[in-house]
Amino acid sequence: DYFQLQGKVALVTGASSGLGVHFAKVLAAEGATVVLAARRKEKLDANVKALEESGAKAMAVSLDVTSPDSVDSAFAAIKAQVGPVDILVNNAGVASDPLSFVDTQEDDWNWVVDTNLTGAWRVARGATLQMKEAGNGGVIINIASIYGLRTGVMKVAYNASKAAVVQMTKSMAMELNRLGIRVNALCPGWFRTEINSDYFASESGQRYVSRIPAKRLGEYEDLTVPLLLLASDASSYMNGTTLAVDGGIM
Ligand code: NDP
């Protein structure tokens, strides 16, 4: 088994809904103890219960990535309950409704950048400190986006935040290599989740789907093997890379 993760502690942020729930399930199925983190604790508890019922080892931890105190307490709780993090899936993120460049206000900009970029940095730093202290190396997967690589209109803050996550990934990889910590970015294309379900129901959303070379939205299952590849020793010779899973969008 290329992907086995027995004995590893994997933290997935943004695991209350959407892609993060799938990522937690996939890592748990390979034997990792998964920590599901986000702000909506009831949702996390329900997701943990479902995982435990399928025989997985899982815990929930409240986390607001925009709060330094919340991030510190989450890492302390994880260490106390299941030990230091070996794998981080840095997935928590937000997108505002489509907004033109000039209509984007301070609050819109700050919300997106504070969550997607500064929040991702803060959590990655917390995980790195824990990995460094434990001395067993580690794996960090930053969930960026196709919009970190290409662009689209009406989402300037989102595009900028995700492009920055791609660059942050490369910087981290260069520095953390000497600690045995590998850092890669996973860039999903368009997957149907809470963040965008209204959009895909609309006419312009439908038009967008018709322009994807694969002629369909991504399904969660399309991310299973890419995630496991980056999370496991199967990718031990990959560091600082960006893996796009996007149906072939150019
Ligand atoms: P969802 O809205 O379903 O999930 C977002 C997750 O992030 C939720 O669990 C939410 O939990 C969490 N979150 C948001 N803000 C915070 C915060 N301040 N602190 C902690 N957790 C937070 O969207 P997706 O599953 O689609 O998005 C997951 C990631 O994938 C994002 O980074 C997104 O940009 C990226 N992505 C998604 C694509 C798609 O097509 N869906 C395409 C490309 C990238 P809670 O509200 O409980 O805190």
- CATH classification of the domain holding 206: 3.40.50.720
Mean pLDDT on 202-214 = 91
* Structural domain includes residue 202: yes
Which segments of 30-119 does DSSP mark as H helices, in order?
A: 41-53, 68-82, 106-113
Q: Is residue 127 part of a domain?
A: yes
Residue tagged 């399928």 (tokens): 54
Separation CA 74–CA 187 (nearest Å)? 26
pLDDT for residue 193? 79
Distance (Å, whole) CA 24 – CA 211: 30
Range of the domain at 118: 9-234
Give the residue from 204, 186, 208, 241 showing the smallest Cα distance to 27. Answer: 186
Mean pLDDT of 62-78: 98
Report pLDDT for 208.
Answer: 85
Over residues 85-91, mean pLDDT: 99
Tally the domains of the chain: 1
pLDDT digits (tens, 9 = 90+) for 113-127: 999 999 999 999 999
Write down the pLDDT at residue 194: 73
CB 224 less than 6 A from any atom of ligand 1: no
In a domain, 249, yes or no: no
| pTM to 2 decimal places | 0.97
- Provide mean pLDDT across the span 196-219: 89
Is residue 166 assigned to a domain? yes
For residue range 44-63, what is the model confidence (pLDDT) as tens digits?
999 999 999 999 999 999 99
Please identify which of the residues 2, 147, 158, 237 carries the catalytic annotation: 158
Is residue 244, in this structure, part of any structural domain at all?
no
Structure confidence at residue 201 (pLDDT): 85
Please indicate, yes or no, if residue 142 is contained in any of the structural domains. Answer: yes
* C-beta of residue 90 within 8 angstroms of C-beta of residue 63: no
CB 60 within 8 A of CB 78: no
Secondary structure class of 96 (helix, strand, coil): coil
Flag whether 28 is in a domain. Answer: yes
Q: What is the pLDDT of residue 168?
A: 99
Query: Is residue 247 one of the residues assigned to a domain?
Result: no
Q: 193 CB under 6 A from ligand 1?
A: yes
Which tops the pLDDT comparison, 131 or 195? Answer: 131
Ligand 1 binding pocket includes 126 (Cβ within 6 Å)? no
